[in-house]
Structure 1
Amino acid sequence: MAHRVADHILARLREWGVRRVYGCPGDGIGGFGDAFDRAGGDPELVRPRRVEAAAFMAAGHARFTGGVGVCAAADEAAAIRLLSGLYDAALDRVPVVALVGQRRRASLGAGGGPEVGLIPLFSDVAEYAQVCATPAQARHLVDQAMRTAAAARGVAVVIVPADVLDEHAVTVPPHGDRAVFSGVGVPAARPVPPAEDLEAAAAVLNRGSRVAILVGQGARGAGPELVQAADVLGAGVAKALLGRDVLPDELPFVTGPIGFLGSRPSDEMVTRCDTLLVVGTGFPYAEWLPEEGRARVVQIDADPRRISARVPVEVGLAGDAGLTLRGLIPLLRYKGERDWRRGIEEDVGEWWRILRRQARQRFEAINPQLVAWELNGRLPDGVVLTCDPGAVTAWWARWLRLREGMRAALSGTLGACGSAVPYAIAARLAFPDRPVIAFVDGEAFQADGMNEMATVAGYRDRLAGSGAPLVFAVFSAVGRPGSRDSAAVPCAAFADLAGLRGISCRDPERVGAVWEEALEAGGPVVLEFTVDAGVVPLPPHIMFDQARQTARAWWHDPDRFGAAAAGFRQKLAEFVEVRRHY
């Protein structure tokens, strides 16, 4: 039975189904430390080495489980350090609740310590932020925070002064005096647009002769409906990075990612289509979408605020992706003319051949594209994949070929450095029997990931699980003299010092073999590849402004000649076969 406010908050989180809280208790929420001990691991406190990582772990938990991730910060100073992870969650519409400690109420306003205005601090990132000023509030503040995070798919914050945590809990407020009696649970909103809107959307899609579909994370769970709609419309499907795992890449009409790090089939299909169906994405980059007036657009999104926010939409359908598509598909007419669809599938097949040729090109150090390509044939079923922002995102997005049942996520909107490692740790704790592989930028590993290797070592038995792979693949770049060299610190050797398994690879001939060694290790592994810094991501087509900015940066880069040569060779691989434009 809960006796103090700290115990009551944990008990209430348990009623909401929370089984894990990521945080670093300290003086501000010291009362939580004892409460977690009394809770007996339900919920469990997972202690990362850095407060920033706690918020990223909560965001990773929410991304992969679909539930609300919960993190905790000890005091005002720690609260500031939560912000990166909370913004990551907020911008990618991921539900996270943060419990934040505060100085004792008696000392507030005295100016004698690190006093921070926490409500203003969280006002931009949080959908909901409140201070628990009295024990009677704890119940409904936790309920409202969980409810808001889940319903709004955003961040909610509960601030608890240290002395309130230690007070005796009020589990049932007394009736009267405007007491609040909140409950647990929030039903999922699954709206379906009205029939007239579905008919208007079908009329637009039926008239199109070159239909393209663009999907994002809001389409997750609607895979069968998307496949059926694409078949009826003779369409191909491009994927925003946050929707990387909505459909498997094995489907011949799935063109892969879109945007700067996207594929050429996605680029050509979307920019050449006469009709575009957008499902569950707020993809923000207009230069990779049809020019205004060049295509008719139908958009499906559960949030009406996102419809027409990126591209003018002729018909907007505010509703759940799967249910809306089920209502729409019977109204669609099968397109017997399949030249557009055949062209898409031929271009996809050619693109995978281009990627294979690019991956097999040789450079002074390992070609990073080869690292991703060699993993394809070795990806375990049901693997969970995470990725850091940066060049490594391109290898993860383009060269990995996802199969049915695989999950993938990254910090899409914020592009938060160092997020891949905490995402992977959270994914493994949530799914102990599933393989987990993180693509980690070498500099991010040195800045942030090394700290969390201590976390991995501390939870080694838990993270080893049933022996399923847990691999942190670090891309350590090496360039010409004078260039920034992230291979200067031996990451695999650091893993050995932390009591983990470290494997390093500098030989292109051994890339496949070391992947197999890491995947068969049966525990956490840091697998370090020394890759050529001259191999840089190139967009599917280069526009004038991009070329000008790239040229300016290139001229000041001491490794510019190596990068130019590598880029020329990559683009040359696209022209070995005759390109087909549909």
Structure 2
Amino acid sequence: MGEITAEVLVSRLAEWGVDTVFGIPGDGINGIMEGLRRNRDKIRFVLVHHEEAAAFMATAYAKTTGRIGVCLATSGPGGIHLANGLYDAKLDHVPVLAITGLQESSVLGTAYQQEVNLDRFFADVSEYNQIIMNPAQLPALVDVAIRTAYARRGVAHLTIPNDIQVAPAGKDPYQTVAPVVAPSTAPIYLAPAVRPRDADLRTAADVLNAAEKVAILAGIGARGAGALLERVADTLGAPIVKSLSGKMVLPDDSPYVTGGLGLLGTKPSEDLMEDCDALLMLGTNFPYTKFLPKPGAAKVVQVEIDPGRAGTRIATDVPLVGDVGATLEALLPLLERKEPKHLRRYQEKVRDWNERMSSLESADRDPIAPQYLAAQLDALATDDAILTCDSGTIATWAARHWRIRGRREFYLSGTLATMAPGLPYAIAAQLAHPGRQVLSLIGDGGFAMLMAEFSTAVRYRLPVKIVVNNNNSLGQILWEQMVLGFPEHGVRFGEPVPDYAAVARACGGFGVHVDKPGDVPGALRDALAYDGPALVDVAVDPNEPPLPASVTYEQAKKFATSFLKGQPHQGAIATTLFRDKIQQLKG
């Protein structure tokens, strides 16, 4: 057999710099798998256990490298399984290419086995979405798909019928008169250097210069502009709040940083949003508007690369369309230096907050406090460690007790906030950065969803370290029910409690279970020292609440109401809350 169309697909991906494809074979993509086999010196195929994990891995690969991530699934149910991971990429604005199979073109529309219109299914999640129906069109459509994914920071999808995959490369079976669209001569995407107009920059500077108490809210869009960001903060005497996705934009010990915002944030950040008279938003579309300044309380300048997103969360006085780094570089000479009185006040508040958080990281608490577990992982990890995280209470502990310092990075499902990406993210990050320490702090609920991927880590000999914060429950939902005034229902898994350490050992990796605080540091050290995939399953206090920085009267009232309605763990929860308060007072 000569060169087939699937080989052209793989070669073109390689020319675009793709070196890894995540997926699972199936009869709908056997031709593509053959193309990968014939070109295995160009592209590494990573075999996973679930297509959802493949999509998460592609998303994490894009997040951690800045290059397009690629996932592959068969027709029908295989393609459907990609959806959750692809929505994660869409909502966090990272470039991912999904490739799926399709039944032979001659049977499409006949309700053939596993026939699903995947182009229609992916219509909402994708920025570019095409069926390849002619081998001659493939190279050009690969180019358009990848360029679009980069340009629009989202998902592109190509679905290819079985017969097209194995057709002779470049053959046009229809002998059309129209010329074949030629592929790009240079398969490369050059991002434009977007800078706001001078008049808009001047207007923004006037607003910021006139304000007395400026606050900055920085998101992941400010990544790489940390030094400029600190210069702006120093000039304006402005404290900096970081979104959760933007946690790695600046070190947590920066003198300008107040921490996060929202349910997972800090009290100084909340106070700042109520206190400022001007807010500079940089590369963030922060969704929780109730934590932002009240309408009319502060002038708002927003730097946003996508003009369609500027002003969607809060009324914006001056939208600046541009890259954060290029914008700050142009804006900085226009800003007037302010006295740092406002900044110093928040530096004092941050010191007090950090003392409160440190008091909850006590080794004396039994059952194990999740804050202590997160703090120990933070203390033992390297300064260039990459931490991936899942959604739920675990995100609270990571947000507050995992400190960004040195070259550390932090990744989670930001806007979609889905469960289960922690482990797949770690695998992709380790493949992308083989020389760095990669850790995942993940809840038992999220780990259980895709725990078969630990076997993937073992098979590829990836030294990822998985720490399971095991409260044997869906902790975030438990506390949400209580804050709504409902007795808990359907959130505790009960007996028997799975032994995730045994699962890790059964897969061929390191696994240890910990249920005593004194054993936590040693277990983590052993896992970090192990030459291969390691898992530490830690039984933490299931009644530890991920309390917001400030508890409102309504939240407190409904929380109390849930107790009166028959909360089955009143005693344990009350004891934990009491001990938290004692620890804070002692601290």
Q: Which band: TM-score by shorter chain?
A: over 0.9
Aligned twin of 2:526? 517
The C-alpha deviation readout for 1:501-555, integer Å capped at 9, x for no partner, is 0122211122222222222223211011110110020111123554466556665
**Which of 457, 474, 478 pairs up with 2:468?**
474
1:530 aligns with 2:539: yes
Aligned twin of 2:576? 566
Take 2:435 and 2:35, find their aligned partners in 1: how far apart are those partners? 29
State whether residues 129 and 156 of structure 1, in contact with CA within 8 Å, keep that contact through their aligned partners in structure 2: yes
User: Partner amino acid for 1:543?
Assistant: T
**SS, match of residue 241 in structure 1:** coil
Deviation at 1:182, TM superposition (A): 2.9
Take 1:550 and 1:30, find their aligned partners in 2: how far apart are those partners? 55
**Which of 422, 426, 429 pairs up with 1:427?**
429
Deviation at 1:221, TM superposition (A): 0.7
1:497 aligns with 2:497: no
Take 1:516 and 1:390, find their aligned partners in 2: how far apart are those partners? 25
The C-alpha deviation readout for 1:354-409, integer Å capped at 9, x for no partner, is 11101217544110000111223222021111000001110000111110311111
Deviation at 1:305, TM superposition (A): 1.1
For the structure 1 residues 331 and 164, does the alpha-carbon distance in structure 2 shift closer, same or farther, using more than 3 Å as the test?
Answer: same
Take 2:374 and 2:2, find their aligned partners in 1: how far apart are those partners? 50
State whether residues 22 and 48 of structure 2, in contact with CA within 8 Å, keep that contact through their aligned partners in structure 1: yes
For the structure 1 residues 487 and 349, does the alpha-carbon distance in structure 2 shift closer, same or farther, using more than 3 Å as the test?
Answer: farther
**Which of 292, 297, 304 pairs up with 1:294?**
297
Take 2:574 and 2:151, find their aligned partners in 1: how far apart are those partners? 48
Paired residue total = 568
The C-alpha deviation readout for 1:52-104, integer Å capped at 9, x for no partner, is 10000000101110111000111111111100001111011111100010111
For the structure 1 residues 478 and 113, does the alpha-carbon distance in structure 2 shift closer, same or farther, using more than 3 Å as the test?
Answer: closer
**Which of 306, 316, 326 pairs up with 2:309?**
306
Deviation at 1:556, TM superposition (A): 5.7
State whether residues 237 and 254 of structure 1, in contact with CA within 8 Å, keep that contact through their aligned partners in structure 2: yes
Take 1:565 and 1:138, find their aligned partners in 2: how far apart are those partners? 64
**SS, match of residue 245 in structure 1:** helix
1:165 aligns with 2:175: no
User: Partner amino acid for 1:412?
Assistant: G
Q: So what's the TM-score if we normalise by structure 2?
A: 0.93
Equivalences for 1:370-381 in 2 at 5 Å?
370-381=372-383
Take 1:66 and 1:22, find their aligned partners in 2: how far apart are those partners? 17
The C-alpha deviation readout for 1:254-292, integer Å capped at 9, x for no partner, is 111111111111111122111110000000111110100
**SS, match of residue 112 in structure 2:** coil
For the structure 1 residues 241 and 576, does the alpha-carbon distance in structure 2 shift closer, same or farther, using more than 3 Å as the test?
Answer: same
Take 2:48 and 2:446, find their aligned partners in 1: how far apart are those partners? 16
1:356 aligns with 2:358: yes
Take 2:578 and 2:415, find their aligned partners in 1: how far apart are those partners? 29
| Runs of at least 5 residues in structure 1 that lack an aligned partner in the other structure | 465-469, 578-582
State whether residues 458 and 532 of structure 2, in contact with CA within 8 Å, keep that contact through their aligned partners in structure 1: no
User: Partner amino acid for 1:566?
Assistant: T
State whether residues 418 and 445 of structure 1, in contact with CA within 8 Å, keep that contact through their aligned partners in structure 2: yes
Aligned twin of 2:454? 453
User: Partner amino acid for 1:75?
Assistant: S
Take 1:574 and 1:199, find their aligned partners in 2: how far apart are those partners? 46
**SS, match of residue 60 in structure 1:** helix
Equivalences for 1:107-122 in 2 at 5 Å?
107-122=107-122
**SS, match of residue 368 in structure 2:** coil
The C-alpha deviation readout for 1:16-67, integer Å capped at 9, x for no partner, is 0000000101100001222211112421110111111000000010111011
For the structure 1 residues 425 and 552, does the alpha-carbon distance in structure 2 shift closer, same or farther, using more than 3 Å as the test?
Answer: farther
State whether residues 282 and 324 of structure 2, in contact with CA within 8 Å, keep that contact through their aligned partners in structure 1: yes
Take 2:329 and 2:111, find their aligned partners in 1: how far apart are those partners? 60
For the structure 1 residues 549 and 63, does the alpha-carbon distance in structure 2 shift closer, same or farther, using more than 3 Å as the test?
Answer: farther
Deviation at 1:561, TM superposition (A): 3.4
For the structure 1 residues 117 and 556, does the alpha-carbon distance in structure 2 shift closer, same or farther, using more than 3 Å as the test?
Answer: farther
Aligned twin of 2:335? 332
Aligned twin of 1:507? 516
**SS, match of residue 116 in structure 1:** coil
**What is the identity percentage for the equivalent residue pairs of Structure 1 and Structure 2?**
38
Q: After superposing the two structures, state which structure 1 stretch, 372-381 or 230-239, moved more.
A: 372-381
For the structure 1 residues 138 and 471, does the alpha-carbon distance in structure 2 shift closer, same or farther, using more than 3 Å as the test?
Answer: same
Equivalences for 1:400-411 in 2 at 5 Å?
400-411=402-413
1:137 aligns with 2:137: yes
State whether residues 477 and 487 of structure 1, in contact with CA within 8 Å, keep that contact through their aligned partners in structure 2: no
State whether residues 386 and 423 of structure 1, in contact with CA within 8 Å, keep that contact through their aligned partners in structure 2: yes
State whether residues 442 and 487 of structure 1, in contact with CA within 8 Å, keep that contact through their aligned partners in structure 2: no
**SS, match of residue 540 in structure 2:** strand
Aligned twin of 1:225? 228
State whether residues 131 and 159 of structure 1, in contact with CA within 8 Å, keep that contact through their aligned partners in structure 2: yes
Take 2:535 and 2:194, find their aligned partners in 1: how far apart are those partners? 44
Deviation at 1:155, TM superposition (A): 0.5
State whether residues 252 and 348 of structure 1, in contact with CA within 8 Å, keep that contact through their aligned partners in structure 2: no
Take 2:2 and 2:308, find their aligned partners in 1: how far apart are those partners? 41
User: Partner amino acid for 2:573?
Assistant: A
The C-alpha deviation readout for 1:98-131, integer Å capped at 9, x for no partner, is 0010111122122232221222211111111100
Take 1:367 and 1:41, find their aligned partners in 2: how far apart are those partners? 48
State whether residues 262 and 397 of structure 1, in contact with CA within 8 Å, keep that contact through their aligned partners in structure 2: yes
| Runs of at least 5 residues in structure 2 that lack an aligned partner in the other structure | 474-487
Deviation at 1:199, TM superposition (A): 0.9
Deviation at 1:176, TM superposition (A): 5.9
**SS, match of residue 473 in structure 1:** strand
Equivalences for 1:12-411 in 2 at 5 Å?
12-170=12-170, 177-183=178-184, 184-336=187-339, 338-360=340-362, 362-411=364-413
Deviation at 1:306, TM superposition (A): 1.2
User: Partner amino acid for 1:408?
Assistant: F
